[in-house]
Amino acid sequence: MTVIGVARETAAGERRVALTPETCRKLVAAGATVRVERGLGRGAHFPDEAYAEAGAQLLDGADAVRDGADVVLCVQAPEPAAIARLRPGAVLVGTLQPEADPAR
């Protein structure tokens, strides 16, 4: 079973989310376990209840969501320390902008 983790975005003014409740529902229906950080959709007007109804596990804290995840979804690249804590072999999907930070 694939575990997908989605943490809240922390960039100033970022209102987008990497996962909507509708897409969450589809991933859960396909057999994935989806973990989202509480408050994930606040800026995009998706309440936690919508994610829970879609089958997501609501967790407190970005580390709890990403810990052990097979796939991590994001809009903005996580901090380098958060990337370093991903499990070996995990896939990070998002707008990572590698040209902005060659070390990343």
* pTM of the predicted model as reported, rounded to 2 decimal places: 0.93
Q: What is the pLDDT of residue 103?
A: 74
Residue 104 pLDDT exceeds 80: no
10-63 pLDDT per residue, tens: 989 999 999 999 999 999 999 999 999 999 999 999 999 999 999 999 999 999
80 pLDDT above the threshold of 90: no
**30 CB-contact burial (10 Å; exposed 0-12 / middle 13-18 / buried 19+):** exposed
Which band of pLDDT confidence, cut at 50, 70 and 90, is reported for residue 85? Answer: very high
Q: Give the chain as a DSSP string.
A: --EEEEPPP-STT----S--HHHHHHHHHTT-EEEEETTTTGGGT--HHHHHHTTPEEESSHHHHHTT-SEEEEEEPPPHHHHHTSPTT-EEEEE--GGG-TT-
